[in-house]
Amino acid sequence: MRALVVESLAESYAGCAVREVAIPTPGPGEVLVRVRAASVNFPDLLMTRGEYQFKPPLPFTPGLDLAGEVAALGEGVTGWAVGDAVVGGARLGGFAEYAVVAAGSLKPKPARLSFAQAAAYGAAYLTAYVALVRRARLQPGEWVLVHGAAGGVGLAAVDLARVLGAKVIAASASDAKLKIVADEYAPDAVVNVTGGFREQVKAITGGGADVIYDPVGGDIFDESVRCIAFDGRLLVIGFTSGRIPTVSVNMPLIKGFSVMGVRAGEYGRQFPDRGRENAEAVWTLADEGVIRPRVHAELPLDRWREAFDLLADRQVVGKAVIRPDL
């Protein structure tokens, strides 16, 4: 089979190449999936440089989220049959024609979603769910400021926060992206962060946002501290800006807000029962058509670099998806 293999850790994906490798064999409790689509996430990009918390041994095939069809069953696997359409994944393996996945991490592909859409919702919406529901304990009617609102995890937060009954401000540095978000997801307000956003957010909310969802970091985090409401929750999702910010602890003391780290996968590993509940909740929302993952582009495996660059260069609204079956 063909797979994208990270052979060495290097800048600009210099250590990555599509190679012919053996089709893996599922072990006990595992399923071999013929991959029809796999979405690109920032951890995939970071792992090619060795800059993510999880550092698999070389060589490895990245790809967190996938959708496809069951091709073979490992020993002891029940509940699945060859040909079943499934969605799921793990930390590795999605950017290949076949992937081995733990049977327990798979769900039936939501019938309302294409394979590309099914591959696009998992990590993004799970992150949004853990952030908004588990960590922030978001309440209906609260104001949520979502930074990076056009990206995969940001757009998922915009979508989910609306489902949860919150009032949403979608924030981005691109008017063109904000128009797409406004047209397709109808947040209560949009804010272009270029040149600053503190006063706009305070004016819209009447004082400050109750919850701020920040996958950007850097200057965005710094200014978010200045427009969060008393008793607010500032959710640290990631640092796509490249700078990890700091906060003087007198600010949360004076303003009475909390800074909360969000790692959805680690949350599930630390609290397995809650992790299963989270995954079930997100799958149900997708299966019922309540959430609407957006696919920006579908590209064949040979164009993996283009898919990576779409994300790295902030060109996507939603998710870029690699289609090994094309």
DSSP state of 85: E
What is the reported pLDDT for 240?
87
C-alpha–C-alpha distance, residues 6 and 61, integer Å: 6
**Residue owning tokens 């909310």:** 205
3-class secondary structure, 254: helix
C-alpha–C-alpha distance, residues 81 and 292, integer Å: 28
Phi, psi torsion values for 77, nearest 5 degrees: -80, 125
| Closest to 314 in 3D by CA, of 241, 244, 264, 245 | 241
Distance of CA 151 to the CA centre of its chain: 9
What is the reported pLDDT for 91?
85
What is the reported pLDDT for 90?
81
Instruction: Give per-residue pLDDT as tens, 1-32.
Output: 999 999 999 999 999 999 999 999 999 999 99
Beta bridge partners of 214: 236
- The side-by-side arrangement of strands in the sheet containing 258-261 is 189-192, 167-172, 143-146, 209-214, 228-236, 258-261
Beta bridge partners of 100: 32
Contact 252, 242 (CB under 8 A): no
- The number of beta carbons lying within 10 Å of the beta carbon of residue 203 is 11
Weakly modelled stretches of the chain, pLDDT under 70? none
Instruction: Give per-residue pLDDT as tens, 78-97.
Output: 999 999 999 998 889 999 99
Average pLDDT, the chain: 96
Which residues make up the CATH 3.40.50.720 domain(s) of the chain? Answer: 125-266
Domain 2-113+293-323 has CATH 3.90.180.10: yes
Instruction: Give per-residue pLDDT as tens, 143-166.
Output: 999 999 999 999 999 999 999 999
DSSP state of 76: T
CATH superfamily for domain 125-266: NAD(P)-binding Rossmann-like Domain (3.40.50.720)
Which residues make up the CATH 3.90.180.10 domain(s) of the chain? Answer: 2-113+293-323
Contact 138, 161 (CB under 8 A): yes
pTM: 0.92
